[in-house]
Amino acid sequence: MSRLGANGSRAGPDYPDSKILNEMTQATLKQLSQQLAAKQVSSVELAGQYLERIEALNPQLNALISVDREKTLAEAQAADARLAAGSAHALTGVPLVHKDLFCQQGWKTSCGSKMLDNFVSPYSAHVVEQCAAAGMVTLGRANMDEFAMGSSNENSFYGAVKNPWDLNAIPGGSSGGSAAAVAARLAPAATATDTGGSIRQPASHCGVTGIKPTYGAVSRYGMVAFASSLDQGGPIAQTAEDCALMLNVMAGFDERDSTSLERAKEDYTRDLNQSLAGLKVGLPREYFAAGLDGDVARAVDNAVAELKKLGAEAVEISLPNTELSIPAYYVIAPAEASTNLSRYDGVRYGHRAKEYKDLVEMYEKTRAEGFGDEVKRRILVGSYVLSHGYYDAYYIKAQKIRRLIANDFKSAFQQCDVILGPVAPTAAFDLGQLSSDPVQMYLSDIYTLSVNLAGLPGMSVPAGFAANGRPIGLQIIGDYFDEAKMLNVAHQFQQATDWHSRAPDLEVATAQDVAPKKRRTI
């Protein structure tokens, strides 16, 4: 066997057995870190193997929309040099993918939109900088709902992402590409964002682990804005331990972001091995009412039973304003989106219409051509609720409801340590099933939206499968800055179960199996 060289070619007798490398693509972030530190594999070898897997499997999944082999292997070479010099971070040399709304210098950053299809970022987001400083290696850019607006990842200019567990199912959104890439083992970890559940819901539907931290814990600098008071970056990986390692890198104060919280740096792995004895888990009665699918209810019940075996105590709580989270969110988020997206006018950067008579027509045609239907819908709603005569009736009232929702959680955490429940009312639905019914699509976010409105941390942990074989996630919600406690609950649950270690059985698609897509390799 030969070794992968700097350019991905094979030369030398000491290249690890291909079976061993293939098994490494199934390994967790923690395991890969240990193998790299022990020099059982090099970063270049590891990156090369993941790139081969991406080339073989991504055509049928459409999880990644940008791959640059040369850039990736150059980063891997630099990581190997750090490892050899003994100046490595815990995650140096480990590959990941970035959601395509984190600006990354020299890479196209499109936000899944035609509007930014030609935009190559001149700078990097704080999250990307942090990952690069740790020596992590970028494998590519993950597909997503356009400008992070969607719950199914069907709103991308580059085509829908497929769920690795069932290619007829949606992967969830808007971070569907990130979740699908981790589930399919195209990458051991991915960055993602959560505005109303966009980390937790796709993590649930794809059978992986994802965490949305407290608002302000991860800088939004260089993260293309959807709804500024709700957007929050976080990681998706196989396990809670991996997410803790990723959060150690991603979180931290950034003076360039006015919403970044100036707090001491945390080690999110510090409590992973704490006992759950005496832990009180709250079960909101509103989360287990009509509308919850039986398979999801059983999976959550079984998870609660497992945590009880580990010493936790379940208590019933109430979050009475849960049902108001959907109307409040779909006033606040579109209002902020309409403001944030007003900058895309064809003047400074991004798409510009080719033919127009005057400046006004250029604006109109550029935005009509550049934005997809869902983005246009939210811009219209947002502009309406911010308009004269409706601002007080809708936007201000929604903000008052937001405070009521936050107060519900404040009261609940006086009775329990963490809150448990479903992530979504059902397992992943079929591609196209709700495309013509946006309101029904919005209703699928009922259990996740309130966490963003309150600015709380929340996460999804694999907890079983529906009868049709599609994954189901358990949602864990913590009080402000309780990420380490949540991660401990998730880690202990994962030590007692194996849902997180199961992977879909994927085969390389033939050319006729894969529909043509808008795709770019830069």
Catalytic residue among 42, 43, 124, 198: 198
State how far the Cα of 373 lies from the Cα of 297, in Å rounded to an integer: 33
Catalytic residue among 71, 99, 162, 485: 99
Structural contact between residues 163 and 117, judged by C-beta atoms closer than 8 angstroms:
no
Structural contact between residues 157 and 139, judged by C-beta atoms closer than 8 angstroms:
no
Q: Write out the two tokens for 445.
A: 């976010």
Tell me which DSSP letter residue 294 carries: H
- Reduce the DSSP state of residue 29 to 3 states and report it: helix
State how far the Cα of 443 lies from the Cα of 5, in Å rounded to an integer: 50
The helix or strand, by DSSP H or E, that contains position 133, with its residue range, turns out to be: helix 126-133
The CA distances from residue 101 to 139, 190, 404, 438, in Å, are 15, 12, 31, 23
State how far the Cα of 99 lies from the Cα of 495, in Å rounded to an integer: 29
> Would residue 174 show up in a list of annotated catalytic residues for this protein?
yes
The single residue listed with the structure tokens 């594999």 is 41
> Would residue 175 show up in a list of annotated catalytic residues for this protein?
no
Contacts of 115-121 spanning 24+ positions with Cβ under 8 A: 115/344, 115/350, 115/351, 115/370, 115/371, 116/224, 116/344, 116/350, 116/351, 117/157, 117/351, 117/520, 118/350, 118/351, 119/349, 119/350, 121/222
Catalytic residue among 151, 174, 175, 260: 174
- Reduce the DSSP state of residue 283 to 3 states and report it: strand
Could you tell me which of 284, 318, 311, 324 has the C-alpha nearest to residue 475? 284
Structural contact between residues 264 and 389, judged by C-beta atoms closer than 8 angstroms:
no
- Reduce the DSSP state of residue 10 to 3 states and report it: strand
Q: What is the 3-state secondary structure (H, E, C) of 34-79?
A: HHHHCCCCCHHHHHHHHHHHHHHHHHHHCCEEECCHHHHHHHHHHH
> Would residue 152 show up in a list of annotated catalytic residues for this protein?
no
Tell me which DSSP letter residue 287 carries: G
Catalytic residues: 99, 174, 198
